[in-house]
């Protein structure tokens, strides 16, 4: 009977709570951070707690987690959970910082599965997902149908055409208009012209 190989030892990831004023953002961070992104992450931390730690180098400079750091400051937190990547060289730190931002761009949502998951959440929890209301409406099919564009045609030059009957007086005109209005095949238009053809 073959001997079982000893289980590989797993290396625990050391995470510590560090005063936030001892954590320094990287001044050359190539990723632009919008205020709205910081606000949404702050709302997530407030709702679920600080579930993802920051990664810093041996000097306390952020490698991964700039948005979470700013969100923590926005919430007035005194400490943040950090992992020190002390086993990475300065070149690896620089590469990791770029890769962490870039690799997340290679995945896309499966809208069908996403909608199924969201429908199982209460409205209160849907507000904590980071989506705008319009995005949720579109995703869940709750958005109002778009208006159908209508083409408006200019009326013809001859404003009154009533079956070729000469118009005599206003009373007769009104009667003919009523008759024509009852016919769906007749289109009526108004004009500022008088019956002499003058404007």
Domain boundaries, the chain: 16-106, 111-140, 153-199
pTM: 0.56
How does pLDDT run across 131-184, given as a tens digit for each residue? 777 777 777 776 454 555 656 555 554 444 444 555 445 555 566 667 666 666
Distance CA 88, CA 63 (A): 11
Helices (H), the chain: 35-48, 66-74, 90-103, 111-119, 123-126, 133-140, 170-181
Q: Which fold has domain 16-106?
A: 3.90.1530
Q: Could you read off the pLDDT of 81-109 as tens digits, one per residue?
A: 999 999 999 999 999 998 887 776 666 76
The DSSP bridge partners found for residue 61 are: 24
pLDDT at 139: 72
């Amino acid at each position: 009977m073959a001997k079982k190989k000893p289980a590989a030892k797993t290396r625990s990831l050391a995470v510590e709570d560090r005063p936030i004023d001892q954590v320094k953002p990287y001044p050359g961070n190539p990723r632009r951070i919008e205020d709205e992104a910081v606000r949404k992450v702050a709302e997530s931390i407030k709702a679920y707690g600080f579930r993802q730690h920051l990664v810093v180098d041996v000097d306390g400079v952020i490698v991964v987690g700039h948005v979470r750091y700013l969100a923590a400051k926005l919430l007035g937190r005194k400490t943040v959970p950090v992992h020190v990547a002390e086993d990475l060289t300065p070149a690896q730190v620089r590469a990791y910082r770029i890769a962490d931002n870039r690799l997340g761009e290679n995945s896309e949502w499966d809208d069908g599965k996403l909608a199924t998951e969201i429908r199982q959440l209460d409205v209160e929890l849907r507000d904590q997902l980071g989506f705008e209301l319009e995005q949720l409406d579109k995703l869940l099919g709750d958005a109002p149908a778009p208006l159908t564009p209508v083409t408006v045609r200019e009326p013809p030059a001859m404003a009154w055409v009533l079956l070729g009957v000469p118009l005599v007086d206003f009373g007769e005109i009104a009667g003919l208009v009523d008759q024509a209005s009852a016919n769906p095949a007749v289109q009526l238009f108004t004009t500022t012209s008088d019956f002499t053809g003058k404007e």
